[in-house]
Chains A and B, each alone.
Chain A
Amino acid sequence: MSDLISQKVNMIFKSTKGETVHALKDITFTLKKGELLTVLGPSGCGKTTLLNIAAGFLRPTSGTITLGNNEIDGPGVERGMVFQQGALFEWLTVNENVNFGLRMKKEDPAKTAKKVEEWLDIVGLKGFGNTPTYQLSGGMQQRVALARCLINDPDLILMDEPLGALDALTREKMQSLVLKIWKETGKTIILITHSVEEALLLGERVYVMAPRPGRIHKEYKLPFASLGLKGDLREIKNNKEFVSKREEILTMIWNMEEEIMGKEI
């Protein structure tokens, strides 16, 4: 079983001035294979830090995080990452970007070319293979980033506000795409967002995090993601239950932010 298990993960940053930031405190959770988790929370509550630890870019101060039976102690191909701003290699074309992981593994170029084509088809970029990435729109760039990550067939996909920089319309389309990919590939996904709506729409499970120290404040198990697979996303947004959940979480985050403001004043 390749579950993601986090046990009492703590992350304490020490700045050069000697101040310490308790970015994560006792993060404990288990994510089963094939689950889609969305993480929500006010800015600075440690979402990115959590993701970076899962990706292996950061080593936690204490606690362990394991994928399957292996403790995570560095970046690896089995954990793919999608960043807010594509982090695409702008000197490469779309094809070359998507192909990057396979090329690093020195796979046969004839075989990889076919794979790349398939993935471009899935993310809806057929025919853009030879376009330089700097000529693509923001939404298209995120599609390339998705394909580049997925072609490596990772067990776990980590997304850090992948749709944050997109306009509303593109965003909606991309949300459908994420759901579609989740369903078709059955991957385990952690998706960070600062949009409550997005978290509710996409998340099978939703964590709301609280800051200072960063911790999991509340957990929800929601049906909307499975609904979204079948129906229209816009319909779900008007669903009564959806609206009340959204209001509840918004109020929660609003209170958290007020608390922070109060503390600071």
Chain B
Amino acid sequence: MITGFITFFTIFAVVGAILYGRRLVKTEKSDAVFGNPERAKGGIHWVVVGSSFLLLSWLYYSWDIAKSFYPKSANELCQVAKVNESLLSLKYLFPIVERQHKSTAIIKRENTNIENKIILIKNDSNLKSQDKEIFIDILSSTKLMIPSLTDERYLEDETQNIINQLTARLNKLTENFPKDTYPKLNEEEKYEINEGLKKQLGWGATGMEVPPIPESTRGLKFHAAAAELNSISDEFFEMRNHNPEYLRKSELIFSEIKEYMDGLDDGLELDYIKDIKKLVRRIEYASIFPPKTLDELERAIRSFDKVQKKEQGNLKTIDIFLFPAGTIVASGPQCSEAGPGRWLPKPSDTFRIFGEMLKPSVGYKMIPMLWYEMMGVNRIVGFILPDWIADIMPGKYPVHNQSGTVDPNFKSKILDIVTGEFEAFKIPVPTGHIWDSFLRVFLGLMLGIILGVPLGLFMGLNRFAKGFFDPLVELYRPVPPLAWAPLVITVFGIDNVGKVFLLFMVSFSIMIISARAGASGTQLSKIHAAHSLGASRWQIIREVIFPNSLPEILTGIRVAVGMCWGTLVAAEFLAGTTGIGFVENVARKYMQYEVIWITIFVMGMLGLIFDLTIRKIIDKTIPWRGKG
């Protein structure tokens, strides 16, 4: 419903924006020549066209338009697919999808195989001529076995009868198929379908991939026909054209082979004879018939195929136009999407699943995406204050007394505070996958800034610092952060500490480099001025060099945020139990394409928010940038 509305709306938007754009061209000032940037200004309507186009493509290629306008089409196409699937092996017998009759193709292939084998044997210098003779003899008789299959004189009446029977059944089906009364189901079959329909969910990721049980009368027709065709096909392939003449010849060959193999040890000869035996067996199981025997059956299949295609009606058009680059395929009683419909989630499903995931009670893997929990202030205090504060307090920890109790003293009370063992009110604290990812990036970044900026400034100003730290930084910096991940995870664990440290490594080097560039890029005249105005060294660093490096530092932060974000998601992919990267990794394992796309979207949005925030900060803190 909504999808349909959106589809129409976007089409209107595209048409409207294009018309608007054309009108704009007509009324445009002509004083801006080509190449003048003026001409590229404005163009919101093209943004509308671009985004609408993107949305339309998504709707179209995920088959969401088909789902919205023809919600039953997947189910019906599933039934058609069942028919096609059961027809397939029969069709392969004839030049319908292939170029040749299957019998022709097999005979051609096996004849070449036999000839090639004979040449191989003749040329093999490791074989004794005596063995060669036996092999070639068997192969020659195998070749002579084929005519007994293809000669109409040997065809048994029984075989001919079965073929006639199956052809008749097919013709009957073709005749009945278009009738309104088809199929005639008995009570049991009806009951079974009805029970199945009760349990059947809708099409799409929030239901089933493709609901397989027929929901419409047209679908039921195809469903029943598929069952009948399956039975015809099974019966046909059970049948073998093994007439007495053939059996006589093949028994002779097999006994010859058996005789030769008896008492044969492992070796070249055994390999050869096993190969030859396989070849004979292949001919035994192949459906080889005399040239004209299956003509009636072929005609029956062709006419049924024509009828079923006609009965598909508009379904054919829907399949072609609304299921681009793929279709519904059946395998046994199940159906699935083959094509972009499979890996490109339908927007309608995606938004519904996203909505579900955003519910704090649902989330993903028992953890909400972004929510809050009530946390005692004591736990936060205990987390922040290090425990050794209690250790350095004067006095000793209390010892239990004779009455078997412990009297707290000052030192033990301090310990209770720094470990968070006291009663306190609760405050809401954010939790969830998104928050966890955000917090990791934030902490890693903050650590990198707090340590990297002073060190970078120092390195920009001091020969010792530059020389001393340069090798260290320059050696670890070019290594991709993920290459460090295994080591870092081993040392610091897969939990937050490891990830934050990894991000710290990323941001640290970037901050050092940008702060250093900022410091060494300070204009000499500014430093001279500060000296003449009586600033001390420390004052020059704090009042001149640091603010002067701010543009570089903030640009560095912007770069670092991007790098950290990318590294974090990959790190979460490697290990961990929370975070956006973790969500995607789990979704990948269970092939939840909707969730994968949702995580991609969330990452993009978060990255964008990070960048916009920093851009805002840059504009606020260094308005003089580029104007100095």
Chain B binds chain A: yes
- A residues lining the B interface (CB < 8 Å): 55-57, 75-77, 79-81, 83, 85, 87, 89-91, 100-101, 104-105, 132-134, 148-149, 152
- Interchain CA distance A100-B540 in the complex, whole Å: 11
Residue in contact with A101 in the complex, picked from B534, B547, B623, B624, CB distance below 8 Å: B534
Query: Is A104 in contact with B627, judged by CB distance below 8 angstroms?
Result: no
| Also in contact, A83 and B529, with CB within 8 A (given A77-B534, A104-B536, A105-B534) | yes
Q: Which residue of chain B is the closest to A55 with respect to CB atoms?
A: B532
With contacts A75-B528, A81-B528, A132-B623 taken as known, whether A87 is within 8 angstroms of B533 at the C-beta atoms is no
Q: Are A83's CB and B525's CB within 8 A?
A: yes
Indicate if the CB atoms of A100 and B533 lie closer than 8 Å: yes
Check if B531 sits within 8 Å of A57, measured CB to CB.
yes
B523 at the interface (CB under 8 A from A): yes
Minimum distance in angstroms from A91 CB to a CB of chain B: 4
Smallest CB gap from A81: residue in B: B532
- A149 and B532 form a contact (CB under 8 A): yes
Chain B residues near A104: list those with CB within 8 A: 530, 533-536, 539, 543
Cβ contacts B509-544/A at 8 Å (1 or 0 each): 000000000000001011011111111100100011
**CB-based contact B528/A134 at 8 Å:** no
A81–B533 Cα distance when bound, in Å, is 8
Interface: B35 (CB within 8 A): no
Q: Say if the beta carbon of B427 comes within 8 Å of chain A.
A: no
Q: Mark B549-586, 1 if CB is under 8 A from A, else 0.
A: 01000000000000000000000000000000000000
Contact A148 B624, CB 8 Å, known A81-B528, A87-B526, A89-B547: no
Which A residue's beta carbon lies closest to that of B540? Answer: A104
Complex-state Cα separation, A119 to B162, whole angstroms? 117
| Chain B residues touching A, majority SS | helix
Residue-wise interface mask of B (310-339) relative to A, using a CB-CB cutoff of 8 A (1 in contact, 0 not): 000000000000000000000000000000
Residues of chain A within 8 A (CB-CB) of B622 are 91
The residue on A at minimum CB distance from B547 is A91
Report whether A83 and B528 are in contact in the complex, using a CB–CB cutoff of 8 Å: yes
Q: How far is the CA of A75 from the CA of B539 in the complex (A)?
A: 15
Contact yes or no, A152 B533, CB < 8 A = yes
Report Cα–Cα, A85/B543, bound state, in Å. Answer: 19
B480 within 8 A of A: no
Chain A residues closer than 8 Å to B523, beta-carbon distance: 87
Q: A85-B525, A87-B525, A87-B526 are in contact. Are A77 and B533 (CB under 8 A)?
A: yes
**Contact assessment for B532 and A75 in the assembled complex, using a CB-CB cutoff below 8 Å:** yes
Chain B nearest Cβ from A233, distance in angstroms: 28
A133 to B525, CA, bound (A): 16
How distant is A101 from chain B, measured CB to nearest CB, in Å?
Answer: 4
Q: How far is the CA of A55 from the CA of B527 in the complex (A)?
A: 13
Given contacts A55-B532, A87-B526, A105-B534, 20 further A-B contacts (CB under 8 A): A55-B528, A57-B531, A76-B534, A77-B533, A79-B532, A80-B532, A87-B523, A89-B544, A89-B548, A90-B624, A90-B628, A100-B533, A100-B535, A104-B539, A104-B543, A132-B623, A134-B623, A134-B627, A148-B533, A149-B533
Is A134 a contact partner of B534 (Cβ separation < 8 A)? no
Q: What residues on B are CB-neighbors of A132 within 8 Å?
A: 623-624
Measured in the bound complex, the distance between the Cα atoms of B627 and A89 in whole Å is: 12
Q: Please give, as numbers and ranges, the residues of chain A lying within 8 Å of B550 by CB-CB distance.
A: 91
State in angstroms the CA–CA spacing of A79 and B531 once bound together: 10
B623: A residues at CB distance < 8 A: 132, 134
Distance to closest chain B CB from A72 (angstroms)? 12
- B621 CB, min distance to chain A CBs, angstroms: 9
- Could you tell me the distance between the alpha carbons of A80 and B530 in the complex, rounded to whole angstroms? 10
- How far, in angstroms, from A200 to B29 measured CA to CA in the complex? 55
A170 CB to nearest B CB, Å? 19
Say yes or no: B539 contacts A89, CB within 8 Å.
no
Q: How far is the CB of A141 from chain B (nearest CB, A)?
A: 11
Q: How far is the CA of A93 from the CA of B60 in the complex (A)?
A: 57
Q: Which residues of A lie under 8 Å from residue B533 when comparing CB positions?
A: 77, 80, 100-101, 104, 148-149, 152
